[in-house]
Chains A and B, each alone.
Chain A
Amino acid sequence: MKAKALVTVLVVVFAMAMMLGCAKVPQADLDAAKAALDAAKAAEVDRYLPELFNAVKDSLNSATAEIEKQNSKFALFRSYKKVKELLAKVTADANDAVNQVAVKKEEVKTEVEGLMAQVAPAVENVKGLMKKAPRGKEGRAALEAINSELAAVEASVAEANTAMTNGDFLTARDKVQANLQKLASLAQELQAAIDKKLGR
């Protein structure tokens, strides 16, 4: 009787060990991690926070390598605990990156909106200075030239608006800053002409 009980216990232990040893790849976790990385890419994490994106991508590669490492082991000795941890981290980091990029984008967007708000007054300033600038024979050609350049700036402002609408905030920022620089130089040129006229 004693022996039979022992055999039963051993068989059960062996069966449990086999069952545990045949642990399955955490496919759902893997799919979730891949989806989270795809979502991060779609959110342009790779553009706005490239280092973060690279780290998450590498973590996923590391997790898939760990899966194969475990798969290479004898069924009894496989354990996907570490894989699950890694994949959970990938998913969490990717989700966190999406949140961070949203914040970053919002920051850039706010910055660009702030810069854009300066464009209209700068254009008005140039137009105001044009009214004050020498308009006689000696000023006509110069004013025409400045008008042509102002038209170029206004075309570029339209491009910046398009970039902004398309969510390309970095390009919009470059363009708006360029526009402001150009408007400042036009204002400076006009101010110099006005000062000269006034004999300052």
Chain B
Amino acid sequence: MLYEYNRYAKPAKPAPPEKNWFLIINLVLALVLGTISLIVQFSNKPPVARFDEARRDVARARQLQAAVYAPDQLRMAEHYLEQSRLMWASENQRWMYHRNFSRVETMAQKASDMAEYAAMRSVTLRDSLRWVAATGINLTKKRIADIRSQFADMPMEGQVRQQIAFSELAIYESEEAFKRGDFRRAVARYQIASKKIGSAGDEVTQILNGYFVNAPKWRKWVQQTIRWSAEKNEPVIIVDKLAHRCHVYRNGVKTAEFPVELGPNWLGHKRQRGDGATPEGLYHVKRKKSGHRTAYYKALEINYPNAEDVAQFRAAQARGDIARNAGIGGLIEVHGDGGKGANWTAGCVALRNRDMDTLYSMVGEGTPVTIVGSLRGISTAYSENSAAPDGKGQNTAK
């Protein structure tokens, strides 16, 4: 059949174009990815490098022992770092495009700055503490050694000796802490040692100050004795208790000097029988003894107690300082059998036998014997006092 054109007929509907789903999806995905890329591209970047640097700075401060030597600063740096992280976390909650990390960076910078300060402070403080500890240990050890050598023979309360021992123990502990690099503890222990030795030193100084109250009187006695020797051209004996020396003068000139040993409680004037103290005063040789008349090789018995001693003793008894039934004591001698290296007599003055021979031959009955606390003032007495009764003192008899 032929195709017949009908001009009035409705034109046929064109077939709808087939949808290209593959293309559409790709376009949508491209659009989504593109948008994401743009958002990522134009969003603020997190301060990863800045934060990592701050973290490394804090770690470095820790490594440099800031936890020990700059704990407050380290804590602050760690706090800033944590704040920075929290701010970062807070920004992460926001939509990407609206994130602003400037506060995070500022806080991380603060953490870095504080960590650097902590590190620097730690190093400085550690070095400084090391120096302080080393110096303090040396000085305290020297002070302990000085006090030990200078006051070794000084009658001291057990408590004072314990203070010295505690001081030594603390300084040993300080040295141990120093060895393992704990300078803070080393300083703390040396400071305790220093305090204890200082307190022992203060007590000793107090005792010495009390002792030296009589220094003017001693000076007067010594001058008077030497003058007498010069005037009479006679020998005199002067005993310096602090220096543990016995001097012999003739015609006002020193002719001999011997080391001596005293009673264990030699510091201070003899007050009563059995106190182990050596009297101070102006005496004279009452009796010379040798052979079976003395138990100590040779002896020069002096006239203790003299009138002043008796008066002092009675006054002390009246005050109640000394018991009513106490005795004043006596039989104080300058005798031999010394050289034991200790203050061992009951209040006498002991010389080595060879020195006693010399002295015995130089003096006679009636020879003045002046016993004083010290020939020098307190300021010089102990710095120069090296005449401890170690038995090695030199006889300088001429």
Contact = CB atoms under 8 A, between A and B. Distances in A.
Interface of A: 3-4, 6-7, 10, 14, 46, 50-51, 54, 57-58, 61-62, 64-65, 68-69, 71-72, 74, 76, 134, 136-142, 144-145, 147-149, 151-153, 155-156, 170-171, 173-175, 177-179, 181-182, 185, 196
Contacts, number: 135
Given A3-B22, A148-B159, A151-B158, 7 more contacts: A3-B21, A7-B25, A58-B58, A71-B89, A138-B341, A141-B344, A178-B170
B21 A4 contact: yes
Nearest to A64: B85
* Main secondary structure on B side of the interface with A: helix
Nearest to B157: A148
A148 B165 contact: yes
B151 to A, nearest CB: 11
B85 A153 contact: no
A50 B172 CA distance: 25
Closest 7 CB pairs of A and B: A138-B344, A178-B172, A152-B165, A72-B46, A148-B158, A137-B344, A3-B21
B172 A65 contact: no
Contacts of B176: 173-174, 177-178
Contact of A61 (B59, B155, B158): B59
Interface string B12-36: 0000000101100100010000001
Given A46-B67, A149-B162, A61 B81 contact: yes
A72 B92 contact: yes
Contacts of B88: 68, 72
Interface residues of B, number: 57
B22 A182 contact: no
Contact of B36 (A71, A76, A155, A179): A76
B62 A181 contact: no
Interface in B108-140: none
B165 A68 contact: no
A137 B96 CA distance: 94
12 contacts: A3-B21, A6-B25, A7-B21, A58-B58, A65-B51, A65-B52, A137-B342, A138-B344, A139-B344, A148-B158, A156-B166, A178-B170
B177 A65 contact: no
A200 B96 CA distance: 92
Contact of B96 (A10, A74, A182, A196): A74
